[in-house]
Amino acid sequence: MSELEFQNVSYVNNGKEILHDLCIDFSPGSYVSIIGPSGSGKSTFLRLCCNLISSTKGTVLFHGKDVLQQNPIELRKKIGYCFQEPVLWGNTVDDNLSFPFQVRKQEIDEKKISCLLASFGLDEHFRKSEIKNLSGGEKQRVALIRTLLFEPEILLLDEVTSALDADNTGLVEKAILGLNQRGITVLWVTHNDAQSRKYADQLLTIENGRIKSLEAIK
């Protein structure tokens, strides 16, 4: 059974059709790169996946069950989404890293935080850094770590390396590959052609709100 499935899904906003009749499914543990011109509907597609918006037509299924029949909060805990523009809140990095624990009413797992920081090239002292002093790349990594603290079943990434240098992009790619090898499904929107083919096993192209192609990458 596929993990996530779109059945004739369309999405209309303010009278404008953003996505048209999408039919696609993703099997557990797949790694799919999503490409397409700006404004083609890639981000809307990801937002539909994690139920931040609902389709105006058609059905989105998660583990074979209509997402509209599932608890949206529990669903979002299983489908992590990292935004194109990293949004951080509070004063420090720690304020952001503690949020997923607060949401689940759990004790902060210091070890998990340290481990993730290290895998993204950041040290322990970084936790006390003030948000206003962070670079764009650092913000993106904090937002990504925040999403990964409780490993989701599906990870949605929206151009998460756009503000990173080559070294840090490599670190992020390696970390995501590691997660995928542990069975996490990855759907990664990118504008970088080389990146889209580097580790993914499928390449999905969206144009004008329609699926143009889905090709397997060897």
User: Where do contacts with another protein occur on this chain (CB under 8 A)?
Assistant: 50-54, 68, 72-74, 76-77, 80-81, 83, 85, 87, 89, 99-100, 102-104, 143, 146-147, 150
d(CA 33, CA 137): 21
Asked if 96 and 88 touch (Cβ cutoff 8 Å), the reply is yes
Q: How far is the CB of 186 from another protein (least distance, A)?
A: 16
Name which of 88, 84, 86 is nearest 38 in CA terms: 84
Nearer to another protein, 4 or 211 (CB): 4
Q: Which is nearer to another protein, 52 or 217 (CB)?
A: 52
Inter-helix orientation angle 110-119/136-148, to 10°: 130
Nearest distance from residue 193's CB to another protein, in Å? 27
What ranges in 58-190 are assigned the alpha helix state H? Answer: 72-78, 93-97, 99-103, 110-119, 136-148, 166-181
User: What does the radius of gyration of the chain's CA atoms come to, in whole angstroms?
Assistant: 17
Closer residue to another protein, CB minimum distance, 150 or 199: 150
> Least distance (Å) from another protein to the CB of residue 75?
9
Q: Judged by CB, which is closer to another protein: 49, or 175?
A: 49
CB 75 within 8 A of CB 51: yes
Closest CB to another protein among residues 80, 211:
80
| Dist CA 206 CA 14 (whole Å) | 21
Residue 107 vs 123, nearer CB to another protein: 107
> Among 194, 165, 199, which Cα is nearest to 181's?
199
Q: Smallest distance, Å, CB 47 to another protein?
A: 8
Minimum separation from the CB atom of position 81 to another protein (A): 4
C-alpha closest to that of 176 among 197, 150, 204, 156 = 156
Q: Which residues pair with 35 in a beta bridge?
A: 205
CB of 61 to another protein, least distance (A): 15
